Amino acid sequence: MKLIRKIDELTAASDSLKNSAVSIGNFDGVHHGHQKLISRLTALAKKHGGPSVVFTFDPHPVRLLRPEKAPPPLTWTKRKAALLSALGVDYMVAYPTDQALLELTPDEFFRQIVLEKLGTAALVEGPNFFFGKNRGGDVKTLQILCDASEVTLEVVQPTEDDGELISSSRVRSAIADGDIDSARRMLTSPYRVRGMVTHGAARGSKIGFPTANLSAIDTLVPGHGVYAGIAHLNGEPFQAAINIGPNPTFGEDEHKVEAHLLDFDRNIYGQAVEVDFLTRLRDIQPFPNVEALIAQLHKDIEATRSAS
């Protein structure tokens, strides 16, 4: 997989992109609906003898047009590229979104981006695809433009889970509610956040359960709860019990993300850690005393070992 993040990099890759099969969208989270679409994308790329290309926007257009309504992302760019690469995508373009791009009409977007920059031979989209200024183009518009340019268009129907359509917004809602199990069922890989390890109150260390306090998380933080997961430190995985929310036993109401890495005793302050969420263990709750809290933490650790 090659990740392209600059316009000049996209121009330089023009020869490699000829006869490409392209899908345009946000692909936030990379869920099973995306996987179904990518399956058709890679098949069409093989048929046309070109690469498979996912074209995304960085940042998402809504962050420029209506920043107050922009939802928190589920993935950062490199994580999204890794997830798409695992599905067989050859190129991911994270196109720098600016006002000039947003002003392109559907016809201009198709000609300048789809044809000229991407060398597209085939397009794969969902039925709710919109493009161009003010989302003025839809799949019907796209079909007309593709027919006129001899570009193959395939529209892939959404995927369902538990009788409902899988979408990034539905995944986002599940994660915000702390329903990691539902989110994991819809995603192609466990939900992951990243953050920097900073100093906290060190209460965990004092009772024998040191935690890595994560700050500067740039994606959606799951709802309050205790979770079993995997922490990745410099590419090395460690089982982890993760606490999100306040610490009511000690009278603290600060929202925190803390990960207790099992069988781990290194100093990692100032380092970056990525955390996968595997399953939800329980709600945040106050305990009558420290001894009761410690007893529950032992149960959380054993549940984490089993979940991982």
Per-domain boundaries in the chain: 2-161, 190-307
Query: Which residues does the chain have with pLDDT short of 70?
Result: 201-206, 208, 251, 308
Q: Which residues, listed in sequence order, are joined to residue 213 by a DSSP beta bridge?
A: 198, 258
pLDDT given for residue 66 in this prediction: 87
Do 2-161 and 190-307 show the same overall fold? no
pLDDT given for residue 294 in this prediction: 92
Predicted TM-score (pTM) above 0.85:
yes
Q: Which residue has the tokens 């995997």?
A: 230
pLDDT given for residue 92 in this prediction: 98
- Residues 147 and 145: their CA atoms lie apart, in Å, by 6
pLDDT given for residue 65 in this prediction: 86
- Any alpha helices (H) in the chain, and if so which ranges? 7-12, 32-48, 61-65, 77-86, 99-102, 106-109, 139-149, 168-176, 180-186, 203-206, 290-307
Architecture field, domain 190-307: Beta Barrel (2.40)
- Residues 184 and 2: their CA atoms lie apart, in Å, by 26
First to last CA, the chain: 28
Architecture field, domain 2-161: 3-Layer(aba) Sandwich (3.40)
Q: Do β-strands 20-24 and 2-4 pair in parallel, antiparallel, or remain unpaired? A: unpaired
- Residues 179 and 162: their CA atoms lie apart, in Å, by 14
Are 307 and 278 in contact by the 8 Å Cβ rule? The answer is yes
Q: Which residue has the tokens 């399956």?
A: 39
pLDDT given for residue 204 in this prediction: 62
pLDDT given for residue 205 in this prediction: 62
- Residues 94 and 96: their CA atoms lie apart, in Å, by 6
Residues in the chain, overall count: 308
